[in-house]
Amino acid sequence: MLVLKFGGTSVGSRDAIGRIIAILNDPEHFSNVRVVVVSALSGVTDGLAAAAKKAAAGDGTYKEILTAMESRHREIAEAFLKSPRLNQSNSFTAALFGDLNRIMDGVNILGELSPRILDSIMSFGERLSACLLSHILCESGVPADYLDARMVIKTDSNYGAARYFPDETYTNIRSLLETRPLLQIATGFIAASSDGNTTTLGRGGSDLSAAIFGAAIGAGEVEIWTDVDGIMTADPRQVTNAFRIDTISYVEAMELSHFGAKVLHPPTIRPSLEKGIPIRIRNTFNPKGPGTRITDESVPSPYAIRGVSSIGDIALIRVQGSGMVGVSGFSSRLFGALARKKLSVILITQASSEYSICFAVLPEFALTAAAAIEEEFEREIAAATIEHPITERDLAIIAVVGSRMKSTSGISGKVFHALGRNGISVVAIAQGSSELNISAVIRKEDEAKALNAVHEAFFLAGVRSVNLFLVGIGLIGGTLLKQLEHQKEVLADQHKIRVNLVGVANSRKMAFDSRGLNPGDTGKILEDGEAFDLGVFMERMRSFNLPNSAFCDCTASDMVPAAYAEILRSAIPVVTPNKRANSGPYDYYRLITDYSKDRGIPYLYETTVCAGLPVISTLRDLSLSGDRVRRIEAVLSGTLSFIFNNFDGSVPFSALVREAKAKGYTEPDPRDDLNAMDAARKALILARECGMPLEFDNVVIEPILPPACFDAPDIESFFRELEKADGAFEKRRAAAAAAGRELRYVALIEEGSARLALREEPAESPFRSLVDSDNIVVVATDRYSDLPLVVKGPGAGAAVTAGGVFADIVRIARTLV
Ligand SMILES: NC(=O)c1ccc[n+]([C@@H]2O[C@H](COP(=O)([O-])OP(=O)(O)OC[C@H]3O[C@@H](n4cnc5c(N)ncnc54)[C@H](O)[C@@H]3O)[C@@H](O)[C@H]2O)c1
Ligand SMILES: N[C@@H](CCO)C(=O)O
């Protein structure tokens, strides 16, 4: 046998009542339901309270409210009923509105509204809806009786929130049902005191009525029908990946609902659970859905926690001073003072030094709470042994709930890692020894970000998502987008990594979508985008406040790297192939690399040297494992490598430069390669990675081309100047070749200096083994002293560079919990 309860929204309209009829007729429910408990039609309870207040205040418009209410009930009746049932229903409705009008008129005349009369007025909502529904069900082929719960649920006279008497009530229900074999449509929320007056059961009263009926008849289950699929792992309005919890224990439901999961008010279902009757939350809009089952025992879950919840706006009040250290009775006075003001405390935390204690209240109660403390500790404050209470506002609480936490270590580590990694500062923490709930007080503006970060850490079965903001979609950025699109499914299916492209920009336009832009459509998306402005781009990126954000700079600009420090300070990791930041002023390089290390906010730039080859990470591993770099010799320019590897006299030097550009090896401006600036930047980056505090001016560069080439005003005139130098280059090559040597442009980093030179290399030189755009880095260290460590491979090109940037983005995803 089942007891079903339908809330106001489930009986609020014709469609809603149609759904109830369908539910009661489906095979799962047909002939299995013993009692249906209903609330008043949506809005009616509030309407009655408002009308009563108006009547008491002498405002005659209460009559209009009642007239509109009566019409609404009649309209619904007319939509479902034909005579003679329509007449019966309408005369019951008319009789009730007659009584209601008389009571309200009395209130109006007396100008007084007692709690007892208010309860009597409020009872009309449920009486009207339950009677109406019973008629409608009968008409639609489901025979049912109207049950006025005041006949059976007996309470004390605490009007507004009366307490029911279980034994008497259960006996009444059982005796009445023995005489009533049909389905019973019972009024929720209302009851009667022993002396026969109407009472109401307080907040969540209809849920309580359903639980009482369930307990009385020993129902197999009590179903609470509402407009959501059940209790979710988080508020779906804030956490897009939230999902329905299948089964939850009563205490867990209590904890989650305390922190904002307002699907039901758990204390109200206690009667059912005391009798071992499970409660199920179900959705009238998705009647086939299984809902959430609430039971009294803890039920196993594949996840370490059951859900994450929050209170979006609280105030934290701190009381501190030497006068409370070791003083017994201090907390009792503090909380006693708050209790006398009827203030509800949401969270308490006290350091074991006993020097301070802080607690959270709703912001509207902060002033009263602070005043209560001032009053209670007036003497201590005057004597300066206790400070004036300090109130902090604009805070939120995020709570992680689950009974499995008790037996699992590492939960709090995971929570605080997820918060810290996203730059969310924790203001206060509380965890009771029941280990059912870990609460953290955070800034209000971080609420959604914190919920998503923590939810992802626990529930997404290892799925890590990065919210990517990409600036620069030329050769490298464009190739990266293609790779992202191409790898999307493999990343998601095999590696559980999701890269969500939220923002994208080139030097003219930018576009955003927190749900994700299609990487393949960025060209079109940017055409319709807004004008690019780096400051605005950063502001937007920050204001999305998404967890696991990452910024990627695929420009060759100086302007974008200047923003890295600020981006890292916003706890957003940076990935880049752009060498400008690390080869600019040493102080800035140290600022951003130190910040990244100290705060654990990734700054990844593997592709700034030798494109996708693992050079930076290798140097870092050597240093971390205690090795010391003594000397690096390297060919660091893919462009120059390509040119000299192929410079055999068959093709002029300038033609090879054009070919390198066509192959995507050169910088956006190939003069940056040919004047060796690009190679020098990489040499400087390597030197700095080895701990040398060099500036760019300290790098000694042997020029490759005559100065006239660089006086050329644009790239085309540069190429024309270059052609003039072809003859001189050929001469130099031929002279080297005559001695069995070939030209290579090599960087040498040693003893605190970095220099680059055009060298003539013999046949056995490692630099002679290069092909195409290969780079090579030969590292001699304390450990690799006789035979140096060599990293070699393609050092330029769109695919390998974008691939390296991609790998850095994936590395960020992997650092997530
Ligand atoms: N080509 C390679 O093999 C290779 C290897 C390693 C590193 N890199 C580096 O990759 C970066 C990109 O190179 P590319 O060849 O793709 O360049 P590109 O000129 O093709 O693309 C640059 C993009 O950045 C945009 N842009 C430029 N300045 C900007 C600014 N201030 N703000 C916003 N957007 C701006 C442009 O509109 C364009 O979309 C460079 O820093 C380069 O040094 C390239
Ligand atoms: N232009 C660069 C690209 C890689 O940084 C080169 O030729 O090496």
User: Which-ligand-closest: CA of 672?
Assistant: 2
Average pLDDT over residues 657-670: 93
Residue of the CA atom closest to atom 35 of ligand 1: 507
The helix/strand/coil state of 422 is coil
User: Which-ligand-closest: CA of 639?
Assistant: 2
Beta-carbon-side half-sphere exposure of residue 539 (alpha carbons within 13 Å) = 5
783 pLDDT more than 90: yes
434 pLDDT more than 80: no
CA distance 503 to 516: 8
Q: Which amino acid is at 813?
A: A
CA distance 605 to 552: 10
pLDDT, tens only, 695-754: 999 999 999 988 888 888 899 999 999 999 999 999 999 999 999 999 999 999 999 999
Check pocket membership of 556 for ligand 1, CB cut-off 6 A.
yes
Residue 467 Cα to ligand 1 middle (Å): 21
The pLDDT of residue 408 is 77
In the chain the domains, ranked by start, together with CATH numbers, are 2-226 (3.40.1160.10), 307-459 (3.30.2130.10), 464-610+805-815 (3.40.50.720), 627-792 (3.30.360.10)
Q: Which amino acid is at 388?
A: H
Residue 668 Cα to ligand 1 middle (Å): 7
260 pLDDT more than 80: no
Average pLDDT over residues 633-657: 96
The pLDDT of residue 261 is 56
Question: Quick check: 608 and 577 in contact, CB under 8 A?
Answer: yes
Residue of the CA atom closest to atom 3 of ligand 2: 796
CA distance 304 to 459: 9
- Sheet with 292-295, strands from edge to edge, namely 144-147, 183-187, 33-38, 2-6, 221-226, 279-283, 292-295, 247-249
- Sheet with 742-750, strands from edge to edge, namely 700-701, 753-761, 742-750, 629-635, 774-781, 789-794
Residue 665 Cα to ligand 2 middle (Å): 5
Range list of β-strands (E), 181-291: 183-187, 190-193, 198-200, 221-226, 247-249, 279-283
Check pocket membership of 667 for ligand 1, CB cut-off 6 A.
yes
pLDDT cut 70: percent of the chain above it? 99
Cα distances from 234 to residues 309, 427, 644, in angstroms, run 6, 22, 60
For ligand 2, what atom is nearest to the CA of residue 577?
Answer: 5
Tell me the pLDDT of the chain averaged across its residues.
93
Nearest to 421 by CA among 563, 552, 549, 542: 549
CA distance 265 to 267: 6
669 pLDDT more than 60: yes
For ligand 1, what atom is nearest to the CA of residue 534?
Answer: 32
Question: Quick check: 810 and 497 in contact, CB under 8 A?
Answer: yes
CA distance 603 to 595: 9
CA distance 485 to 518: 8
Q: What share of the chain is helix, strand, coil (3-state, %, to 5)?
A: 45, 20, 30
Which residue among 469, 510, 540, 555 is best mutated to probe the pocket of ligand 1, counting the most ligand atoms within 8 A of its Cβ? 555
Verify whether residue 63 is a known catalytic residue: no
- Sheet with 549-553, strands from edge to edge, namely 530-531, 509-512, 497-505, 464-471, 549-553, 574-575, 603-604
Which of 119-123, 173-177, 318-322 is predicted with the least confidence, judged by mean pLDDT? 318-322
pLDDT, tens only, 445-471: 999 999 999 998 898 766 788 999 999
47 pLDDT more than 80: yes
Kindly give, in sequence order, each residue whose CB lies less than 8 Å from that of residue 599, ignoring residues fewer than 6 positions away. 568, 571
The pLDDT of residue 262 is 66
pLDDT band for position 259 (cuts 50, 70, 90): low
The pLDDT of residue 433 is 64
Beta-carbon-side half-sphere exposure of residue 635 (alpha carbons within 13 Å) = 31
Tell whether omega for the bond before 84 is within 30 degrees of 0, i.e. cis.
yes
Check pocket membership of 678 for ligand 2, CB cut-off 6 A.
yes
Which of 43-57, 206-220, 406-420 is predicted with the least confidence, judged by mean pLDDT? 406-420
Kindly give, in sequence order, each residue whose CB lies less than 8 Å from that of residue 785, ignoring residues fewer than 6 positions away. 630
For ligand 2, what atom is nearest to the CA of residue 796?
Answer: 4
267 pLDDT more than 90: no
Residue 795 Cα to ligand 2 middle (Å): 7
Residue 478 Cα to ligand 1 middle (Å): 10
ipTM of the prediction = 0.90
The pLDDT of residue 1 is 93
Average pLDDT over residues 335-345: 91
546 pLDDT more than 70: yes
Question: Quick check: 373 and 333 in contact, CB under 8 A?
Answer: no
Nearest to 673 by CA among 716, 628, 703, 646: 703
